[in-house]
Structure 1
């Protein structure tokens, strides 16, 4: 879609002062999808030269905000990454064309803050941490589960930039389980639940998103039984936190949230074939 109120596109490397009507431009798949009458200038991040994916010596993975979905999906094939399949599953949750995959960015998905954003689901489930950069160059870090604070709302100040998201090596070594539900065969996620079993201490995290206005991550030092999990979700998610739109009523989303969370719990607490021998 043409943005006929935009009069200028500037290179982010110039570090020009932020002014009203500015917006960061990553892949642009959201910006150009609907009218943006409040915008006057786009600040293009495409030439910042950030490495899409960086594996650090401690095993942590840093995902640049400008990393495309297509590039992230290939991380699935990284040797020795137990959680690798989850990256592909979340990328596929977009149900988008190859054109979108090659333009849409991880940072854009997080900064839109939409309940069905699968990059929010992925990074929240693996306890990701956002690196944010202010206009004066100062940096701060915030967990993904705290970065997205509501439907379309995020902890991002005026002119502040999401630079990257970091996942620890321990997180990417987790055994994971993925469940997604939609009202339609190729519809937007109405509920998306991810479980992550820690290989070191045996703790279990269950993250509910898409069904809720923001991601909710429930951590248990030891895998809970069905009743403990249900009680944690019931007490942790307020009635008003279940999302309501054309893709699903809150009652249905709540039902699917509980159902899929239990399926994830059973899958990850079931003895593996190796352990059963």
Structure 2
């Protein structure tokens, strides 16, 4: 869709060239949502592509994902054999309600910043203990866990002019054994529940609940809980009001599927 209110496009090549943020500005990365509907309140786009951020970098600390990394680039990543959680990358990429053409344009950062409950890049990076680096509008930067970055349905911690720079995944999380479960009302529908469980080398068990809830919910245990303990923890941690409600699933059904998928994950990892 043409955005006929846009009068300027800024193309900075470094952070020092980022223009002062004003009302009517928008960051442009993949643009798959931005150009999907009218944006009458916008008059300037700030194109992030010209910043030239490397899409993916890995070192002894883990994996760094640029906010401008596309879903296709992430899906094509070749991971070391000891990254036992690597299958989650492909599984979450395929949880998108999107065609391969969208994959080549949509960005990891854009999906996280949209902060939809069903955002699969939120599911992936939250489960892998991802940490966001945010360039603050007034200068400086701050870091926050992906699980805390998203605060609700299409809400997050970003303030006007703040920019998500990258998401860092620690090596320890990539080496955890994992299990993935996802369900939709229709075969190619938006995720109604997407859960990821993992086990650390010391036996600690973690469960990340997304899509069924308005924001990511993480539960941690020192060891794999028994079935009743896990169920009770979910019931105590996730109030009924936190389950998402839209045409892709009613809260009571999402709650039921969350409990069921969590039980399947526990059984698989046990």
Q: Same fold (TM over 0.5)?
A: yes
Pairwise CA distance, 1:78: 4.0
Pairwise CA distance, 1:97: 1.3
1:44 counterpart = 2:22: no
1:160 counterpart = 2:162: yes
The residue number in structure 1 matching 2:11 is 11
Pairwise CA distance, 1:56: 1.8
The residue number in structure 2 matching 1:241 is 242
Aligned residue for 1:166, secondary structure, equals strand
Q: 1:149, 1:95 → 2: CA distance? A: 22
| Residues 61, 168 of structure 1: 8 Å contact kept | yes
Pairwise CA distance, 1:9: 1.1
Residues 123-162 of structure 1 mapped to structure 2, 5 A cutoff: 123-162=125-164
* Aligned with residue 25 of structure 2, among 22, 26, 46: 22
Report the aligned-residue RMSD.
1.1
| Residues 76, 86 of structure 1: 8 Å contact kept | no
Q: 1:79, 1:47 → 2: CA distance? A: 34
Q: 1:252, 1:78 → 2: CA distance? A: 38
| Residues 55, 73 of structure 2: 8 Å contact kept | yes
Write out per-residue CA displacement over residues 86-131 of structure 1, whole angstroms, 9 at most, x where no aligned residue: 1000000014211100000000000000000000000111111100
Pairwise CA distance, 1:76: 5.1
* Aligned with residue 110 of structure 2, among 100, 108, 111: 108
Q: 2:198, 2:11 → 1: CA distance? A: 39
Aligned residue for 2:246, secondary structure, equals coil
Residues 197-208 of structure 1 mapped to structure 2, 5 A cutoff: 197-199=199-201, 201-208=202-209
Pairwise CA distance, 1:247: 0.4
| Residues 196, 204 of structure 1: 8 Å contact kept | yes
| Residues 114, 154 of structure 2: 8 Å contact kept | yes
Q: 2:77, 2:200 → 1: CA distance? A: 20
Write out per-residue CA displacement over residues 190-221 of structure 1, whole angstroms, 9 at most, x where no aligned residue: 1101001112x111111110000001011111
Count of aligned pairs: 267
Pairwise CA distance, 1:136: 3.2
TM-score by length of 1: 0.94
| Residues 60, 171 of structure 2: 8 Å contact kept | no
| Residues 118, 192 of structure 2: 8 Å contact kept | yes
Aligned residue for 1:16, secondary structure, equals coil
